[in-house]
Structure 1
């Protein structure tokens, strides 16, 4: 009798545990469904935003790798503008939030429940990014020397290309030089005679 009662208690306890596990699984499935529903709702609202932004994304050339314009899923759906800026839904699931990731953390650029208001803010952001990129390219071009005119080679003056020529001296200059050397010779000869006479003791008349 005691053994039957103990077996009944074990069976009852096992049944209660199985029911508790089944109830926990049901609750987990319901929570998962809620999360999936919320995720799908966020994605649907972001698709509405993407349709409103379509003219802006079409205006950007496809080969421009600065922007992405891509809707991603995951735990929290996001619409990426570029590598750091994105649009996602706030906690109330009705407000669009335009944020940007920086080195100091995430910065909120705009919030609104109207997707068209976010489209205007994103349009301004795209224009600012294009202007910043163009300025950076202009600075790089100036630093590398691109866009400047090629230096022109200036030919050397013709006077330097020809050998130097001495101007002919006038004849009067030659005559003056000859007379100067003659006077120098006379003076030197007279001086030599005076020295020789003084050495010999011969008086000079």
Structure 2
């Protein structure tokens, strides 16, 4: 009887452990299903937002490669706008969070459960980034244009400066007085001297 009881007791213990393991596995499976369902729910909401923005994405210039516009899978699905900005779902799986990574850390641009408000915010952000890129390109073009205009003038100016320093320089007075005035003044002095001599001789002889 004791052996039978022991066997029955052992059998009971084994049965109880097996049941416990089964329950744990079922619970884990249910939790996994919940996690998967929640992840799929987040992905679905982000896909809905991406559909709202599909027209905006299509209007971006083809040569502008700063945007990504892609919903990524993983532990937390994300709608990437560019390399530093993305949309994720909040803890309630219903609220959209538009965040941007900066040098000062992650900044929340907008947090809302309204898909239209989030779509408008992302659209505004995309427009601002496009304008910033155009201004940067225009500034680069202007700087390059100015540099090209200044390049031909500088060698000529340098050559002229070197030529002035290489040639002997006349005194300042000589540069201002024309040689013709010097000859006229000299001849005028001679004529005045002759006139004075003739007058002197005329007075004393006469």
Unmatched runs of 5 consecutive residues or more in structure 2: 165-178, 187-206
Instruction: Tell me which residue corresponds to 2:96.
Output: 96
2:144 to 140, 143, 146: 146
TM-score (structure 1 length as normaliser): 0.69
Aligned residue for 2:53, secondary structure, equals helix
Length, aligned pairs only: 168
Distance 1:135 1:124 in 2: 17
> Is 1:123 paired with 2:123?
yes
Over residues 48-70 of structure 1, what are the superposed CA-to-partner deviations in whole Å (9 max), with x where a residue is unaligned? 11111011111112342211000
TM-score (structure 2 length as normaliser): 0.68
Distance 1:131 1:64 in 2: 11
Distance 1:10 1:105 in 2: 60
Over residues 172-193 of structure 1, what are the superposed CA-to-partner deviations in whole Å (9 max), with x where a residue is unaligned? x7xxxxxxxxxxxxxxxxxxxx
Distance 2:24 2:140 in 1: 62
Aligned residue for 2:33, secondary structure, equals helix
Distance 1:14 1:107 in 2: 55
> Is 1:36 paired with 2:36?
yes
Distance 2:100 2:14 in 1: 53
- Which entry has the higher C-alpha Rg, 1 or 2? 1
Distance 1:14 1:61 in 2: 69
- Aligned ranges 1:1-205 → 2 under 5 Å: 1-141=1-141, 145-148=143-146, 149-151=148-150, 152=152
With 1-10 and 41-50 compared, the bigger mean Cα shift is at: 1-10
With 31-40 and 92-101 compared, the bigger mean Cα shift is at: 92-101
Aligned residue for 1:76, secondary structure, equals coil
Aligned residue for 2:107, secondary structure, equals strand
Aligned residue for 1:98, secondary structure, equals strand
Distance 2:110 2:136 in 1: 26
Distance 1:2 1:65 in 2: 81
Superposition misfits of 4+ residues, deviation over 6 angstroms: 167-170
Deviation at 1:30, TM superposition (A): 0.8
Over residues 39-98 of structure 1, what are the superposed CA-to-partner deviations in whole Å (9 max), with x where a residue is unaligned? 111111111111110111111123422110000111111101011111121122222221
